[in-house]
Amino acid sequence: MDMFPNVQKKDYRVLDLVRQREIQDIVSYTIRQKLQVTDNLISRLGLEKELNGHTGCVNCLEWNETGQILASTSDDKDIILWDPFRYEKKLVIHTGHHGNIFSVKFMPKANDRVLVSGAGDCRIRVFDLTFSLTEPIFTCKCHKARVKRIATAPSIPFLFWSAGEDGLFLQYDMRTPHVCRSEEHNVLVNLVYHVGSQVEGKCISVNSKKPELIAVGANDSYIRMYDRRMIKLSQVPPPATSHLLNMEWANLNNYRAGKGDPDDNIPLGSAQYFIAGHLRSRDSNIRSITTTYLTFSDDGNELLVNMGGEQIYLFDINDPRRSKEYFGMISSPKKYTESVERGVELGRSHMEQIDVENMEDFTDKNMKVLPPHVEELKRQANEGFEQQKYSLAINLYNKAICHCPTASVLFANRAAAYMKRAWDGDVYAALRDCKITLLLDPEHVKAHFRLARCLHDLNRSAEADKVLRSFQQKFPEYASNSACKALKMDIKEAIDSGKEILRGSAIPYPISEYEQEWRRNTIDYKMRFCGHCNTTTDIKEANFFGNNGQYIVAGSDDGSFFIWDRSTTNIVRVLRGDDRIVNCLQPHPSTCLLATSGIDPVIRLWSPLPEDGSVNDREILNLDDAASANQVRMNSDPFEIMLMNMGYRLPAQQAEFSDEDGEDPRDIPITQALNCRPS
């Protein structure tokens, strides 16, 4: 029977050709995506071209949807559109801004003719290039402080959003007229009402797959994500037409600061907060923390965040069970199961293959005999540890864990290396590894003891005391040992002196009740990327690179940019991208091409160099030295940073030597067995 009675026989060939073409297009697209960024291309990445045209620092880079145009903004207050393949200027837009331009975006589905800019003059301007190259079609002066970021959503051609240092995050609808007046309702979030008058908005990003989700960053440790469908837009501040009106708005904001939205504009269930767990109890006297940039992954499931004054973090936005806190003791498998069910991720994303619903089976999953290639990685890591090359050891343990994500010995050893290296966040990372170790092997002596040590070092001495007491009960043969006694004395001294950090006690200003609840339910990080330095500028970016986001890229205060392998979190390349500081890194949407900028008034394009044996003079070969120097830089005072920039090397802190691998801790003195050494 003819299934297509109305189609003539000669048309079958046409239908067949159309079907084949569609299949070929899909296959071709898939292949192009797979070949977009590969290990080989990353290993050959080098400087292709410098684009000269700006006369000031280049503060923002933005590709259009097809990658045929690159937009850049600068302290010179111009926007330049580039043809990145001919290395030519297509257009220079004299924006009329009176302050440094920090952000530019193409409006989606507008054929690249509509651009939005935000600047230090507190203004937002929209340009339609079909009408004028100098006169904006839209100007907004609702912000009362610098506009730091603009955000758009690919699927929504008529909306855009802004983040300002006045603590406001605004929403704009291009379909309706906009007048900067108090009756206008376009405030999505007013953080001042929840956090206080000192808050500053720094960045904003819209989830391309779920455009109802908007993430914002401010000058604190919390990353906030809102479901805008649940938010009632509130009134904008009065226009900046007079000093008096500005003062009136400031007085209103100060009156409401920390008291919450007056009309319950942001319901309690519309927000989800994220934070690296150790930053919740960070000493306020230590350098400030600021979210300088955030972006969603292409699949919409993850959020990448560059924390000024700290590291780069990846958060899972979908799993509400992820750890609200990794602190606390493990008194029994059941108790620890409850902790894990609140969201303990087993180290990293590849551990998600383990069924977290059935935690009591975890001890059965502990891989005690490692495959030969993993055993070799472990041996090399232990050797690096003994040579006090802790970053090398951590990198090797990371690779080993990728192959064997349920081997308790690898997590225990990595915890020891973290504790010895002691970079920012390392002690907390060690605490996480100790908990994973004890989940897989509840009888692991050193992991239990190190857990108490980590808690004490993180100023959670009351919890450390509970864990240590549990340790002494569980392993009475070690209870009277000198190492155990010494830690007990340290913990007692900390508790007696009041050094214990109480949750919320370090907040010097009132915050709203909703803010307190949101902070109580924060989600911890999924991955951490270390090595760069981010203390000098508040526009420093971190982005996914590759069709599956298999690499992470970020700039640094040392003039370099770093490339991490996402699966292991290890640094794979470091390249010198600026004479002083690299701020912006924007990967091309469909090919292995990276645009960077910083303090220099030039834009640099990076692509794979030919395999002709030539030396890449932009490559930094000693990755560990570069990363270690940045950790020193991040914890140095301004004078020391100046010396480092002049080429002086600061002495690195030496860690104590530890004993060899392979001995059972019950067969050696407890002072050695409980030391931070690999197993």
Q: Which of 138, 100, 140 is nearest to 123 (CA)?
A: 140
- pLDDT tens for each residue of 468-493: 999 999 999 998 889 999 999 999 99
- Rounded to the nearest integer, the mean pLDDT of the chain is 84
Cα radius of gyration (the chain) = 27
User: What pLDDT is recorded for position 375?
Assistant: 98
Helix (H) or strand (E) holding 393, with range, is helix 390-403
User: What pLDDT is recorded for position 302?
Assistant: 97
User: What pLDDT is recorded for position 331?
Assistant: 37
The residue-averaged pLDDT of 274-279 equals: 94
Query: For the packed helices 372-386 and 408-421, what is the interaxial angle rounded to 10 degrees?
Result: 20
Residue 104: HSE in the Cβ half-sphere, 13 Å Cα cutoff: 31
Biggest alpha carbon distance in the chain? 93
How far is the C-alpha of 583 from the C-alpha of 330, rounded, in Å? 42
- CATH class of the 363-497 domain in this structure: mainly alpha
Residue 374 CA, distance from chain mean position = 29
User: What pLDDT is recorded for position 285?
Assistant: 47
Domain ranges of the chain: 363-497
Which tops the pLDDT comparison, 24 or 196?
A: 196
Give yes or no for a contact between 260 and 268, defined as CB atoms under 8 angstroms apart. no
Give yes or no for a contact between 70 and 112, defined as CB atoms under 8 angstroms apart. no
The residue-averaged pLDDT of 397-410 equals: 96
For 255-316, give the secondary structure using H, E and C. HHCCCCCCCCCCCHHHEEEECCHHHHHCCCCCCCCEEEEEEECCCCCEEEEEEECCCEEEEE
How far is the C-alpha of 552 from the C-alpha of 295, rounded, in Å? 12
Q: Which of 590, 584, 538 is nearest to 31 (CA)?
A: 590
Confidence band (pLDDT; 50, 70, 90) for 665? very low
User: What pLDDT is recorded for position 349?
Assistant: 39
| 332 exposure class (CB count in 10 Å sphere: 0-12, 13-18, 19+) | exposed
User: What share of the chain has pLDDT > 90, as a percent?
Assistant: 69
- pLDDT tens for each residue of 568-622: 999 999 999 999 999 999 999 999 999 999 999 999 999 999 988 888 999 999 9
Residues 402-417, buried b or exposed e (16+ Cβ, 10 A)? bebbbbbbbbbbbbbb
Which tops the pLDDT comparison, 651 or 153?
A: 153
User: What pLDDT is recorded for position 594?
Assistant: 98
Residues 546-585, buried b or exposed e (16+ Cβ, 10 A)? bbebbbbbbbbbbbbbbbbbbebbbbbbbbbbbeebbbbb
Q: Which of 301, 324, 265, 288 is nearest to 202 (CA)?
A: 288
